[in-house]
Amino acid sequence: MNYRHAFHAGSFADVFKHAVLCRILNYLREKPAAFRVIDTHAGAGLYDLTSAEASRGGEWQDGIGRLLEARLPDKIAALLAPYLDVVGSLNEHGKLTSYPGSPALTRAMLRSQDRLIACELEPQADATLMHHLQRDSRIKCLQIDGWMALSAYVPPKERRGLVLIDPPFEQENDFARLATGLAAAHRKWATGIYALWYPIKGRSEADALAKRLKRLGIGKILRAELIVSPLSDPTGLNGSGMIIVNPPWTLESELSQLLPALTGILARQGKGHFTLDWLASDAAAVR
């Protein structure tokens, strides 16, 4: 995958990932206690969909573009509202030119007592991220390797919150590092919510990741996958997955409604499907 996320901003994978992210953030907001979000691979924060990079592939047209054009049942619209409200706030009515990355979505959902640590190593993306977020006192932007941040910044002093792990998958060992990084962080902060995103080209890497995670002995691991095209061509991005550790108790039910709807909207030529299952489920959900 290309590290410069501007090529992929607003794609089907972003829609899926960010819809899940916003459901988790919405849950965290429901209690008055402060929470912290640690975004280990934050990217640039905000993306211009009219830029040369975004226009070259036009991936947003089959992602957020399709979603905004779809007629949504009331229940689905309500579940997507926290996400789509942020997208709408960044664009003039009827004209889509900007797309928020995970730091911008998170910032929009922070309250005065909440905090975000946004980590980005790549210099150009880090500079853009700083430009967008540096004036917000609730946010700390760090030019640091996300894998190092995963170890260094847990547990947060709030003892409540989310770690979003969304690496670029340019390195061959990124799938393995998802499991080892999660294991190390979970040993330090066992009650935190962790959300891990991964690409799906074929089944081998995603299935190997699931096996590694099952061996970790973590009590509550929910897996959600959205496949938009057949896995017969492993050279392209055919789907993506989210692993949620210690998911909010509401999330499984919400995803059981969202995933069929998103599959229907985002699948290519009607050939998509989704997965929602537990890799481990012997601990109580986060409340």
Structural tokens at position 106: 């998170």
Q: What is the DSSP string of 31-96?
A: SSS--EEEETT-TTSEEETTSHHHHHH-GGGGTHHHHHHSPPPHHHHHHHHHHHHHHHHTS-TT--
Beta-carbon contacts of 236 under 8 Å, excluding residues fewer than 6 positions away, are 201, 229
Q: Using 50, 70 and 90 to split pLDDT, how confident is the model at 1?
A: very low
Q: Using 50, 70 and 90 to split pLDDT, how confident is the model at 279?
A: very high
Q: Looking at residues 263-275, what average pLDDT do you find?
A: 94
What residues does 197 pair with on adjacent strands? 242
State the average pLDDT for the chain. Answer: 93
Q: Which of 62, 126, 166, 174 is catalytic?
A: 166
pLDDT of residue 151: 85
If one compares 131 and 287, the residue with the highest pLDDT of the two is: 131
Are 279 and 214 a contacting pair, CB within 8 Å? Answer: yes
Q: What is the pTM of this model?
A: 0.95
75: pLDDT strictly greater than 80? yes
Tally of CB atoms within 10 A around 100:
25
Q: Using 50, 70 and 90 to split pLDDT, how confident is the model at 4?
A: low
What residues does 100 pair with on adjacent strands? 46
Task: Write down the residue that tokens 């995603």 correspond to.
Answer: 206
Active site residue 166: yes
287: pLDDT strictly greater than 60? no
Going along the chain from its start, the domains and CATH numbers come out as: 5-281 (3.40.50.150)
**SS3 of residue 227 by DSSP:** strand
Q: Using 50, 70 and 90 to split pLDDT, how confident is the model at 2?
A: very low
Are 132 and 45 a contacting pair, CB within 8 Å? Answer: yes
**Run of H or E including 133:** helix 123-133
Alpha helices in 136-272 (DSSP H): 146-152, 174-188, 203-214, 251-266
104: pLDDT strictly greater than 90? yes
Are 271 and 230 a contacting pair, CB within 8 Å? Answer: yes
Q: Render pLDDT for 201-235 as a digit per residue (tens, 0 to 9).
A: 999 999 999 999 999 999 999 999 999 999 988 88
71: pLDDT strictly greater than 80? yes
284: pLDDT strictly greater than 90? no
Are 224 and 182 a contacting pair, CB within 8 Å? Answer: no
Q: Using 50, 70 and 90 to split pLDDT, how confident is the model at 143?
A: very high
pLDDT of residue 283: 46
